[in-house]
Amino acid sequence: MVRVTENMRSITDCASQMTEIISLIDGIAFQTNILALNAAVEAARAGDHGKGFSVVAGEVRNLAHRSAEAAKSIKALIDVTHDNVRQGAAIVQEAEKNMQEIVGGSGQLNVLMSEISTTTREQEKGINQITLALSDLESATHSNVLMVEALSASSDVLKAQVIELQTKTDKFRLSQPGYSEHALSHSHVSSLSTITRRGQA
């Protein structure tokens, strides 16, 4: 009976740790979603040059949403496991009390032990479901990381394209009558400042 009680406590501790992990994953998914939204805004500002970038941002946002939904599902399973553990702990306490009081009532003890066994099997099923869900979440998180890396690479490419386009535009303006070198320098500096601010954002 003492061993059953210790197992109940161990399961409770594991469930609490899983809850903390799920909260962390949910926070990462939320941050990733914000990053994807910002990327989509930047892609929209870039026009045709940002179409590919916008697709990547959309995929990252979808992955973030899936991660958040998976985290919610796992949290629900953990809550069910907590309830089962509390029920099992109550049964164990009742069994301990009865064992101290009962002299020949082995029949009632057998019933209680059967209930404990049933509850334990339910807990095992819940833990197996959590394990499968965590595996799916790990895969989704890995894909999320890859998409974020692709997003970062696409951002660098987009920035280079914007700089190249600005250079060509400045050359075109320079060839127009009445366009001074001072105006060109001022325009180039302003554009680079804007790009730098976007990159820092």
End-to-end CA distance of the chain: 59
For 133-166, give the secondary structure using H, E and C.
Answer: HHHHHHHHHHHHHHHHHHHHHHHHHHHHHHHHHH
Of the candidates 62, 56, 74, 97, the one whose C-alpha atom is nearest the C-alpha of residue 15 is 74
Pick the CATH number of 2-152 from 1.10.10.60, 1.10.287.950, 3.40.190.10, 1.10.260.40: 1.10.287.950
Map tokens 């554009």 to a residue.
191
The per-residue pLDDT string of the chain (201 residues; one tens digit each, 9 = 90 and over) reads: 566 667 667 777 777 777 777 777 778 778 877 877 777 777 777 777 666 766 777 777 777 777 778 778 877 877 887 777 778 777 877 877 777 776 566 666 677 788 888 888 888 888 888 788 778 878 877 887 788 788 778 888 888 888 888 888 877 776 665 544 444 444 444 544 454 454 445
**Which stretches within 47-105 are classed as H helix?**
51-101
Domain boundaries, the chain: 2-152
